[in-house]
Chain A
Amino acid sequence: MPDFNQTRTILGSYLSARVPLIVIRTIETDRAMDVVRSAAADLRSLGYYEHSRTEGLKDLLNGQVVEDDTSLAGALENARVTFKARSNVNFVFTDVEDIDQETSTSRHLAEMVRLAERNSGSIILVVAKPVWSGLGRLGMSVSLDLPTTEEMAQRLAEIIDEHAQIVRIEWQHSDVRRAAEILTGMTELEAVNVLMTLLTKRQLLVSDIPVLSEYKDNIFGELSGLERIHLRENYRVGGLRQLQQWLKRSEFRMKEELGSSPVPPPKGVLLVGIPGCGKSLSAKAIAHNWHLPLYRLDMAGILGMYVGQSESQLREALEAAERVAPCVLWIDEIEKALATGLGDSGTSKRLVGQFLFWLQESIAKVFIVATANDVASLPPELLRKGRFDEMFFVDLPDRNDREEILRMYFQKYTDTDISPVLGAELVDLTEGFSGSDIDATVRDIAVSMRIKGTAMLPPDAEVRDWFADVVPYSRSNPEDVSAIRAWAQGRCLVAGSPSADFDPGIGGIRRRLIV
């Protein structure tokens, strides 16, 4: 949809062409009126009148009230005699109701448009909804999109400049730009309201920028199909070094100005692998580290019982994600809705197609972190190179990763560092453990310490026993683990520690076989 300047150009051409009905579709009436004033200023030899239900009839360009009759019927009567008396007169109406169908109002307007056409007049309607086709086809229309990031940044900068004398401003140009990116998707008035509220603190700090997402959440209310995940702790992922290294590059692209760049923002990553190895935790950690809001798209939840309902719900969810961009969109267990199979009347195939189309066309900064456990059921077209930016296989942690994970969880739950000797023993004992197995075991130890009322770790032998009693997923389901590993071989990058043949100096990450 056209932005402010494009809409202005289009409107100017319609006015010059004396199109008798010009429909401007927008939810931002005031901003649309700015467009109209701006276009009208270039064609000042014409007459322009603006009618609203609050102020009546005004001269559009000088704002002078011509008549305080707020009645639409009265204003159209005024327009009627004016069109008959003079040519090249334009009437702008901003509060016209009930014209999306054939009604008395839309029929009357159609009559007036025909009269205007005979006298080179124009009626300009600023509306949020489509107009009745019998009316709309008498003229031309243009849709004014919400402010672009550039417009938003310019508007925010203007307000910040106006307050520079009385508010301590920490934001630099790049911060204003980031704020504008977060607020993109809101109306100009909503964004101004948010910024003005922040300014009342008498300081505008860089740390305020993530708060903008919360305001945005509040304004959007409940988002269709999306659940906001509130990040309450300092999420850390042990191991997964290759993934984390790759994410650093994506973070840069996610945050850089892409306004005039041909390079699209990153699409996201697909994490496949053994359950409990940090796929979901990675989504939270990414959002936390990037200071972006995290939304979860429950793929199973979008499946509806009626024909077309699932597609409609997926479309709404993806549109909602674009509105709240920039954000991290966590699609947990993506295979639940997109796994193609028999017996669903082709719904899954349509969902895959719809999702892939969106993935390809969307230019919003929505970074997808999709996770999958049952990889064999995923459709091949989803896994083709170029769909996601990268696919990572999250395997069971190796020795180094397990040591890091063990230390991390002991620190987190018991606030203690384990001795090197115990650490080495536990690394051996936890062979085949997933990150969540280690997490659960250390948490159990911490709970037992609290029950005993002590801050001291149990004796090493007891700690070893806690781990020795655990039967990890890899031991209870070795066939599943083998199957996932076999599938990932040659298809994915390893998310964990690079092997000896990994050379980060040339081109960063490269693919390697999973053995």
Chain B
Amino acid sequence: MTSNNLLGASPYETWVRTLKAWSQDPTISLEHLPALQDDTYSPDTANRLLHAIIDAMSAVNERWLADLGRIFDNYRDPYELGRRLVQLRPAIARSMQLASHPSLPQTFRDALQSSVRSTIERNQREFEESFETTLRHSDLPKSTREQLLRTVRENSFVRALNHEAKQTGERLVAVALPEGVHDPVERQPRHQRRIIL
């Protein structure tokens, strides 16, 4: 969703207004953001813009962490935990979308992408460690504890970093959808085994 009131008197103002709205509302589009070059702003202005971006990302991240906490209070079984973890991916994808925004200068993009990636990787790592500690002190059966931990690892947030996403963070179709005919497939016998002598 793009609202005219996100458009400021200057590109800088448009960026700042949009970032503020984007951090509160996942439907806010980033498409209208004006292109910036390395030399568009003075270093101070560029720095302020960078901080605005990081603040917006932090706000998203804080809400994401709150959502994550709620999941752990409410999940009923390992599958539901996995499903909810997957549902948390769009927020990560949105942050990465902002960090990779083509209107940003390349230097900004590199720094922001690296920051988002390292933050998510750290979050995942810390999350697994703390979850493992919690489980160790729980009275759940060992098999359930292992299954839950496996679920957390299997549904890692890091995967969301590689997804192409819509403005809402919802992933785009990942599979290469076929149009018409596939390449011919040569069917091989499945158990093509030979003894080794």
Contact = CB atoms under 8 A, between A and B. Distances in A.
Interface stretch (B40-48, B63-71, B104-112, B172-180): B172-180
Interface stretch (A73-81, A205-213, A375-383): A73-81
Contacts of A163: 194-195
A52 to B, nearest CB: 13
Contacts of A57: 174-175
B173 A72 contact: no
B155 A192 contact: no
Contacts of A47: 175, 177-178
B80 A44 contact: no
Contact of B173 (A59, A81, A103): A81
Interface string B148-175: 0000001100010000000000111111
Contacts of A155: 191
B137 interface: no
Contacts of B180: 45
Contact of B190 (A30, A41, A81, A104): A30
A336 B180 CA distance: 67
B74 to A, nearest CB: 12
A72 B87 CA distance: 13
B154 A71 contact: yes
A45 B181 contact: yes
Interface residues of B, number: 35
Contact of A73 (B79, B175, B193, B194): B79
A416 B183 CA distance: 77
A324 B187 CA distance: 32
A214 interface: no
29 contacts: A41-B187, A44-B182, A59-B175, A59-B178, A59-B182, A66-B175, A71-B86, A72-B82, A74-B82, A74-B155, A74-B159, A78-B173, A78-B174, A81-B170, A85-B177, A89-B177, A104-B76, A104-B77, A105-B79, A108-B83, A158-B189, A159-B193, A163-B195, A166-B197, A167-B195, A188-B191, A192-B193, A196-B195, A200-B195
Given A57-B174, A61-B185, A76-B83, 12 more contacts: A31-B190, A37-B185, A37-B187, A57-B175, A59-B176, A66-B176, A74-B82, A74-B86, A81-B173, A86-B173, A104-B79, A108-B83
Interface of A: 30-31, 34, 37-38, 41, 44-47, 49, 57, 59, 61-62, 66-67, 69-74, 76-78, 81-82, 85-86, 89, 98, 103-105, 108, 155, 158-159, 162-163, 166-167, 188-189, 192, 196, 199-200, 202
